[in-house]
């Protein structure tokens, strides 16, 4: 506590150029990520697939994958510049203090008696700001769904469904955001300098609540979950769960094809009650054993405690975020640098603190991606030990083709952006060889797998 207090006093320096510093952070990060994207774009211009995939991916499919990757990269360049321009304009034209003052005027003129104070003001400010940013970004969202994804055959949504999802999302944001934001502010107001301990406990409670409520009340608003029909796939998945002592409670199929042709599978739930969800697109385009192999990889994350470890890391990250926020919450020089001279709203302090923390978050993102890729290799190796080496390799190849995922990647770009290894790396770790080389795909070089599992990009 004393260290945090002293650090807070040290950083609160009148006249310190916080605005210039944060703008500098944003520009530096934008340029850095732009350089990485240019490196990746060169990879996306390569005419031939990696040697590992030469016997597995047709040239036509590879060309389409490369074109899809380039189209997403070009869209990323434009949308990134658009986002950067928004951020710069928000800071340069003092949008935050102007909007705070404007919503304060609305509150004083039109709110019923009793609806006053910082919490009510913050809620009005927050949702007004969210509405503005959502509206500004509608063209980007529309283009991504109905031009980019449509061009490559992935979009299955309609404008009506897109608008409906948008309205549902906004309504859900208000329904959940009002009590959560109110509680967040009230905890800080009432617990003094030790607020971060209580915010941390509140954050854990919210996560447990979300794990319980999301599949019951929120997911059905957007997708339909149906019990998996009796048959070979259900028998295979239940057998896998029983073999691993996985606490399977429900096995669902989700109508992912309602919006997209992309495929996936995942599990969720409390430690003693888990649910598996399989996309209908994955079932439609894969053989039974291949779907089971994908789930053997997913359950490998559970069996190897990857989900528990990542949850623990997330809690530590949340705690240090809140603890560091206590250093900045009373930093008058930070507020004043952004045009807040009379009022020092908590929510504004948190927004500005988040911007100041961006360089550290970049490092955290890099480290988490390195760890995530390591876990992916370990989950693949787990599936191999269960006897799904060939089926998993085949499924990964099919998923790569179906999703037109990146076939190759620049190592710097992948290290920074990718939470999963690219396909050639995973096939190499699985011991898979191209059929053109007439290798037995069921043979796995354990030494090679172990080396790949321990590697870091």
User: Of these residues, 289, 290, 298, 391, which one is catalytic?
Assistant: 298
Helix (H, G, I), strand (E, B) or coil at 254: strand
List the one residue out of 437, 311, 301 whose CA is nearest residue 377.
Answer: 301
Helix (H, G, I), strand (E, B) or coil at 387: coil
List the one residue out of 23, 320, 340, 80 whose CA is nearest residue 197.
Answer: 320
Q: Which two tokens stand for residue 239?
A: 């057998």
Q: Which two tokens stand for residue 183?
A: 């509680």
Rounded to whole angstroms, the Cα distance separating 451 from 67 reads: 33
Q: Which residues pair with 265 in a beta bridge?
A: 278
Catalytic status, residue 298: yes
Rounded to whole angstroms, the Cα distance separating 326 from 195 reads: 8
Helix (H, G, I), strand (E, B) or coil at 229: coil
Find the Cα–Cα–Cα–Cα dihedral 241, 243, 247, 250, rounded to 10°.
30
Q: Which two tokens stand for residue 318?
A: 């949340």
Rounded to whole angstroms, the Cα distance separating 12 from 14 reads: 7
CB atoms < 10 A from the CB of 89, how many? 10
Strands 273-279 and 248-254: parallel
- Token pair 């003129």: residue: 109
**Quick one: three-class SS letters along 306-325?**
HHHHHHHHHHHHHHHHHHHH
Rounded to whole angstroms, the Cα distance separating 423 from 409 reads: 10
User: Of these residues, 355, 380, 391, 408, which one is catalytic?
Assistant: 380
Find the Cα–Cα–Cα–Cα dihedral 24, 409, 370, 260, rounded to 10°.
90
Q: Which residues pair with 227 in a beta bridge?
A: 252
Residues involved in catalysis: 298, 380
């Amino acid at each position: 506590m004393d260290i945090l207090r002293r650090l807070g006093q040290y950083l609160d320096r009148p006249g310190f150029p916080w605005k210039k510093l944060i703008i500098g952070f944003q520009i530096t990060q934008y340029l850095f990520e732009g350089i990485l994207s240019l490196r990746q774009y060169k990879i996306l211009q390569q005419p031939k697939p990696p040697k590992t995939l030469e016997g597995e991916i047709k040239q036509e499919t590879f060309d389409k994958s490369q074109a899809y990757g380039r189209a997403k990269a070009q869209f990323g360049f434009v949308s990134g510049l658009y986002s950067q321009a928004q951020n710069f304009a928000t800071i340069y034209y003092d949008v935050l203090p102007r909007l705070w003052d404007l919503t304060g005027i609305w509150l004083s003129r039109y709110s019923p008696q009793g609806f006053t104070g910082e919490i009510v003001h913050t809620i009005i400010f927050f949702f007004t700001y969210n509405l503005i940013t959502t509206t500004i970004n509608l063209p980007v969202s529309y283009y991504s769904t109905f031009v980019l994804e449509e061009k490559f055959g992935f979009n299955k949504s309609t404008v009506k469904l897109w608008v409906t999802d948008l309205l549902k999302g906004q309504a859900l944001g208000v329904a959940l955001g009002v009590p959560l934001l109110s509680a967040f502010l009230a905890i800080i107001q009432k617990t003094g300098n030790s607020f971060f301990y209580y915010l941390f406990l509140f954050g854990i409670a919210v996560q447990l609540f979300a794990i319980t409520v999301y599949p019951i009340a929120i997911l059905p608003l957007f997708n339909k979950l149906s019990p998996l029909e009796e048959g070979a796939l259900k028998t295979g998945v239940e057998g896998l769960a029983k073999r691993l002592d996985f606490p399977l409670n429900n096995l669902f199929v989700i109508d992912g094809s309602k919006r997209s042709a992309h495929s996936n599978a995942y599990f969720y739930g409390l430690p003693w009650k888990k649910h598996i969800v399989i996309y209908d697109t994955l079932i439609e385009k894969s053989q039974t054993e291949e779907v089971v192999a994908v789930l053997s990889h997913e359950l490998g994350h559970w069996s190897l405690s990857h989900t528990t470890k990542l949850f623990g890391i997330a809690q530590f990250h949340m705690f240090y975020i809140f603890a560091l926020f206590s250093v900045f919450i009373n930093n008058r020089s930070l507020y004043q640098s952004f045009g807040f001279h009379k009022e020092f709203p908590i929510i504004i302090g948190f927004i500005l603190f988040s911007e100041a923390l961006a360089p550290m978050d970049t490092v955290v993102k890099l480290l988490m991606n390195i760890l995530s890729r390591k876990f992916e290799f370990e989950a693949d190796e787990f599936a191999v030990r269960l006897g799904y080496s060939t089926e998993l390799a085949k499924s990964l190849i099919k998923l790569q083709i179906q999703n037109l995922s990146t076939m190759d990647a620049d190592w710097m770009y992948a290290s920074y952006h990718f939470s999963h290894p690219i396909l050639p790396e995973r096939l190499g770790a699985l011991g898979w060889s191209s059929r053109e080389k007439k290798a037995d795909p069921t043979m796995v070089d354990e030494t090679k797998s172990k080396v790949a599992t321990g590697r870091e990009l």
